[in-house]
Amino acid sequence: MQIQLDDVRLFVRIVDLGTLSAAARERDAPVSQVTRSLVRLERACAVRLLHRTTHGLSLTDEGDTFLAYARTLLDATAQLQADLSGKISGPSGWVRVSVSPLLAEAVIVPSLNALYQRHPDIHVDIAADDRIVDMSREGIDVAIRTGTTASETLVARRIGQMTRSLYAAPAYAERFGLPTSVDDLPRHRLISYSVSPALNHWTIADGAQRREFLAQGHTRTDNSAIVLALVRRGVGIGRLSDVVARRLVASGELLPVMAEQASTEPVPMYAVMLPQRHRLPKIRACIDHWADWMAADR
């Protein structure tokens, strides 16, 4: 069976992306070139790998079998290439990271100069989004996530922890004052999430007890970066990651609100990877660096 490795790689991306045109756009190549690659691969295998109809693509039984072997082949090739190059010149190549916009700004971006000094041949592609991505489909090497990561299909390594607290801008405090107890909160302008409703459940200490408060937002958004922007503009009080807000408090841009009562229990922060990629030297190097960065409590 004489097959070309690049045809195998393209076949996997066609399956992951769902269409020939999407794979062509990703490669910045004409669809005809992608089609020729698929035809060439099917001829080499002497079987049809994909059903192609006006309604889309679907794997044949043979294609499903071939896909499993293709992923194993590509992962083994990547591992071999990384091990060989790593022994000569150290970790190298692109690492695509999925992370929320706020954590990208607070953790990933500030850490990059030091990462590049340690590993000058590594390059980072940041995909900043609050949503949970499909790592295989979107070509993500590492996803930075907080909380639980229960999944049998992913490998997770803890790189730190995160707490959240309430914050407001000085302009908001001058206009409306600041709450001092959980009973004051309903009278204030609160910023909540229109998605991820769990983030709107704030646990507040009330004496010796802790009470759960449901934040009915005066303003809502689906994006953590917009929550920060709204708080900084004095629109309302919002719950922010302390790793993000710490530097803004130091500069006087933000004020802690009910600091002792409203801080959350620490939740773990994980680097999540597909199982076939977590051993790649370039990925291990990035995760080691971010774990060290978080441990330094910057």
Domain boundaries, the chain: 5-85, 90-158+269-295, 164-262
Is 137 or 205 the better-scoring residue by pLDDT? 205
Q: CATH number for 90-158+269-295: choose from 3.40.190.10, 3.40.50.720, 3.40.50.920, 3.20.20.70.
A: 3.40.190.10
Residue 264 has pLDDT above 70, yes or no: yes
The pLDDT value given to residue 275 = 79
What does the longest C-alpha to C-alpha distance in the chain come to?
A: 75
User: What pLDDT shows up at residue 82?
Assistant: 67
Provide the pLDDT for residue 87: 59
Does 164-262 match 90-158+269-295 at the fold level?
Answer: yes
| pLDDT 10s digits, 127-182 | 988 877 888 777 789 999 887 666 667 889 999 998 889 999 999 999 999 999 88
Give the pLDDT confidence score for residue 227 in this predicted structure: 92
Q: Which of 202, 204, 232, 235 is nearest to 220 (CA)?
A: 235
Q: Predicted confidence band at 204 (pLDDT cuts at 50, 70, 90)? A: confident
- Please name the CATH architecture into which domain 5-85 falls: Orthogonal Bundle (1.10)
pLDDT at 281: 85
| CATH number of this structure's domain 164-262, picked from the four choices 3.30.230.70, 3.30.2290.10, 3.30.470.10, 3.40.190.10 | 3.40.190.10
Report pLDDT for 149.
Answer: 64
Structure confidence by residue, pLDDT tens digits, 24-52 = 998 899 999 999 999 999 999 999 999 88
Closest CA to 97 of 122, 123, 121, 127: 127
Q: What is the pLDDT of residue 260?
A: 81
Question: Which pair of tokens denotes residue 39?
Answer: 């035809």
